[in-house]
Structure 1
Amino acid sequence: MPEAQNPVPVEELLERVLGTVQTLPDFPLPLMDTLGLALAEDVHAEVALPSFDNSAMDGYAVRAADVEGATAADPVELPVVGEIGAGQASILALSPGTAVKIMTGAPVPAGADAVVPYEATDRGVARVRISEATAPGRHVRRVGDDVERGEKLLEAGTVVGPRQLGLLAAVGRATVRTRPRPRVVVISTGSELRDPGTPLGEGAIYDGNSFLLAAAAREAGALAYRVGIVPDDPHSFREALADQLVRADIVVTSGGVSQGDFDVVKEALRGDEGMWFGPVAMQPGKPQGFGTVGEDRVPIFTLPGNPVSAYVSFQVFVLPAIRKMMGVGPAVRPTRTVTLTEAVKATAGRRQYVRARHADGRATPVGGHGSHLLGDLSQSNALVVVPEDVTALPAGSRVQALLLDEEF
């Protein structure tokens, strides 16, 4: 893919990205470290849940036949021969005509086939009066009621959330094979940039891009490393990049890829084998660069310097790369059909990503087209996608949109 003169379609660059990045190798991780990661193995239950018959209530373990016909007016009285708490199994068997006090979760002794809850008894200690009949199996959790031993619990590719993690722990898994979080190094270039909290000075601006992109990478599930600001000097950029490659699975830069005299990233990397720079038929985000650098051929995304362009480019190109590395599908954020509340104009030949506020299936455009309008971006939670061959959409149009806060 040589350096482009004419804008390339979004799909062409995206195809190159997804064809270049590889899913990261999997390895076993402790359970608490797997939250948000994709399983790299099918998980089968090595034990049943429950693993023994246990009580679903605080009450008395009995034989159902021994309390047949019991009512409040004519209760059945049984001797209490012991007590079983959760984690205890001091009574192995229940003789006919007797009862055992039992706590929730405690093992039901052999011979008992039901549990009468406290509410249906006088809570007796030596003898108990039972005022309600029961049926075999009542208030008893049987072995394997929830999960049978050997049952497939989770498939490879499943993202581990709190519920899945709890299930893994419940069946005794201390570790599970998952794919790690990609390490994403974010570099901002520009001699005019300053870190937040420092004096600005004449002609300087605060560096919001690196925070924006690092936060987006972290939200996507990656480990994000924000690097200090790199001035507009190719040598300084190459040095900073070389220092960071040892901890990077992906490098993301912002700025320095357009057609200006100080486009440091483009100047520093233009001659590298595998690097591509050129315009993409999209707005915002037209100037782009992508390739691999270093001995390990680490993928690098060189995004535009305007914050909205950088963020949209992240959503369209970098996010799919992170998700592919993590083994999470789908890699590309799916679009949803929404209704425009206001008319939208677009530029022919470019795919337009219009900032919008989405609620209840309706999308309202936010602000103007300027790629520097970070305030408008902060008020948006969707990007309405206007196809390349469309120049105007009236209010009420049914369109596709990327819902930025949607989990997928």
Structure 2
Amino acid sequence: MPQGRSTQPDVRMRGFSHRAPVETVWQWLEETARPLPGETLHPREAHRRILAEEVTAPESVPPFPRSAMDGYALRGSETVGAGAYNPLSFRLVGQSMPGAAHDQPLPPGAAVRIMTGAPVPEGADAVLPAEYAQEVGERVEVTNAIPPWKHVGQIGEDIQEGEVLLRPGRKLRPQDLGLLASVGRTSVTVVARPRVRILVTGNELVPSDQPRGNAQIYDANTDMLAALVERDGGTVEGTYRVGDDADVITEHFTEGSPDVLIVTGGSSVGAEDHAPRVLSEAGELAFHGVAMRPSAPTGMGRLGADTLAFLLPGNPVSCLAGYDFFAGRAVRRLGGRPSHWPHPTVSATLARKISSEIGRMDYCRVALGDEGVEPLALSGASILSSTTRADGFVIIPADSEGYAPGTAVTVHLYEPGD
């Protein structure tokens, strides 16, 4: 496994002599990217964050016996024999309302008017629904028998004191936040969100809100990468267009310490592809060149002890694939999420063959049609519209020459999973 300063050669204008297998790079990421420390938030701010602690209940819920109906609290054994033609009469001695309990023990032969959620008074063990009773002056006539503990929510019926409610690694959902509030939690520890810096190289690129020159194109990668980082639980600390100036690239490599640095463009073997050399001089270039299509020129490594750096190709589809294969795995893992693909999957049958090459993993964009899975593109790294026309992608492993028509394949859907 690569250690210390890189021994990767400068491949500009020479080409790659070796490309690392995707699985080797994944293994390096598993060993290198560790979940970040926790931070403490109010539960209201923790939606969709990853829990970093075990949460146990400090008290039972409900903390007192409570009524599950609007009606009358009484002793169930005293209602035996009650019926429409044999009403039994109970003395009405008060009422219990949510937030305003009847705080006196219930004497024999008595009842308390009670509302749903209100505490059941001491001595009562059942709640008779209102439709089976009628108040007459200071008494209530009961026309139905009810067994003890009917319509009474017991202490701890929902949650027992000391019970483990939530475990580390859970993505907090709205109902989880409600559960935390129900036991009085005002803080929760979650994994910190990875801070990601995005550098966009290329003198030809301009932002979409500025005029474009004759030899220029609009930058698609910044907005795409920022959305991908957000999807994976990271936060973009800044986006910078740095052109093809090696000195400016170096400044951004050496200033501050984001958790993840993503560079798009300038990662291949051209004369202006400075990022691999800068990374190897400023830190460690662990890999440069991966046995995959698209995104073969991807590189990655480390800056100091705290920053993972990813060098992604500038062509948009290669950038998307390189992010999902590598940078996204790191962002997810640093943030405490599973590192595997975040996409929902479906199994479907190929309508047409997909050809591949032994020794290289392929990322094939596909559409789901009436006749099955239609391959759209294996090549065409600059054709971003192929990803918007696609429903998802199929991965062809490096030990396969592709898939024949009629083969059942796993389609990773572009629609984000939850």
Do the two structures share a fold, i.e. TM-score over 0.5?
Answer: yes
Query: Partners of 2:409 and 2:225 in 1: how far apart?
Result: 27
Contact (CA 8 Å) 2:95, 2:101: kept in 1 or not?
A: no
Matched, 1:103 2:115: yes
Structure 1 residues 158 and 384: alpha-carbon distance in aligned structure 2, compared to 1, 3 A threshold: same
Structure 1 residues 115 and 359, CA gap change in structure 2 (3 angstroms): farther
* 1:141 counterpart (110, 135, 153): 153
2:12 corresponds to which residue?
none
- Measured after TM superposition, the shift of residue 226 of structure 1 is 4.2
- Alignment CA distance shift 1:31-1:140 (3 Å): same
Pair 1:219–1:124, CA change in 2 (3 A): farther
In 1, Cα distance between equivalents of 2:186 and 2:50: 16
Q: Distance in 2 between matches of 1:125 and 1:91?
A: 22
Q: How does 1:51-70 map to 2 (within 5 A)?
A: 51-70=63-82
* Maintained 8 Å contact 2:61/2:160: yes
User: What corresponds to 1:201 in structure 2?
Assistant: 213
Q: Deviation per CA, 1:60-113: give whole Å up to 9, x if none.
A: 111112222222333323232111111112333111111111111110001111
Partner SS state of residue 225, structure 2: helix
Matched, 1:321 2:333: no
Deviation at 1:332, TM superposition (A): 5.3
Shift of 1:124: 5.9
Query: What is the Cα deviation at residue 284 of structure 1?
Result: 0.9
Structure-1 residue corresponding to 2:399: 389
Shift of 1:159: 2.1
Tell me which residue corresponds to 1:278: 288
CA distance in 2, matches of 1:99, 1:358: 65
Supply the distance in 1 between the matched residues of 2:208 and 2:416 (Cα, whole angstroms): 29
Q: Deviations over 1:2-44 (max 9, x none)?
A: 4262111001112222222222112432212322222222221
Which residue, 323, 336, 355 being the options, matches 1:345? 355
Within 1, Cα distance between the matches of 2:230 and 2:370?
27
Among 209, 225, 235, the alignment partner of 1:213 is: 225
Structure-2 separation of matches of 1:267 and 1:304: 15
Given the superposition, is the C-alpha separation of residues 297 and 106 from structure 1 closer, same or farther in structure 2, using an over 3 Å criterion? closer
Which 10-residue stretch deviates more, 341-350 or 319-328?
Answer: 341-350
Q: Give 1:59-138 correspondences, 5 Å limit.
A: 59-122=71-134, 126-138=138-150
1:380 aligns with 2:390: yes
Q: Which is further off, 169-178 or 118-127?
A: 118-127
Structure 1 unaligned regions, length at least 5: none
Q: For each residue in 1:344-401, what CA deviation from the matched residue of structure 2 results, as whole angstroms up to 9, or x when unmatched?
A: 2223431111112459996443356311121121233422011223333222212244
Amino acid across the alignment from 2:199:
I
* SS of residue matched to 2:282: coil
**Residue of structure 2 aligned with 1:307, choices 302, 313, 316:** 316
> Is the contact between residue 5 and residue 278 of structure 1 (CA under 8 Å) also seen in structure 2?
no
User: For residue 380 of structure 1, what is the amino acid of its counterpart?
Assistant: A
Matched position secondary structure for 1:215: helix
4+ residue runs over 6 A deviation = none
In 2, Cα distance between the equivalents of 1:132 and 1:360? 61
- Contact between 1:358 and 1:381, CA under 8 Å: does it hold in 2? yes
Instruction: Return the letter of the residue paired with 1:67.
Output: T
Comparing 151-160 with 51-60, which one deviates more in the overlay?
Answer: 151-160
Secondary structure at the aligned position of 2:298 is classed as strand
Match of 1:263 among 269, 273, 285: 273
For structure 2, which runs of at least 5 residues remain unmatched after alignment?
Answer: 9-15
> Which deviations, in whole Å up to 9, do the C-alpha atoms of 1:212-243 show, x marking residues without a partner?
11101101111123413211111122223444
Which amino acid is the alignment partner of residue 352 of structure 1?
Answer: D
In structure 2, the CA distance between the partners of 1:362 and 1:176, relative to structure 1 (3 Å rule), is farther
- State the AA in 2 paired with 1:60: Y
Deviation at residue 404 of structure 1 after TM alignment? 4.0
Tell me the equivalent position of 1:21: 33
1:318 and 1:381 map into 2 onto residues whose CA distance is: 22
Alignment of 1:222-233 (within 5 A): 222-233=234-245
Q: Which moved more, 1:223-232 or 1:324-333?
A: 324-333
The alignment of Structure 1 onto Structure 2 pairs a total of residues equal to 405
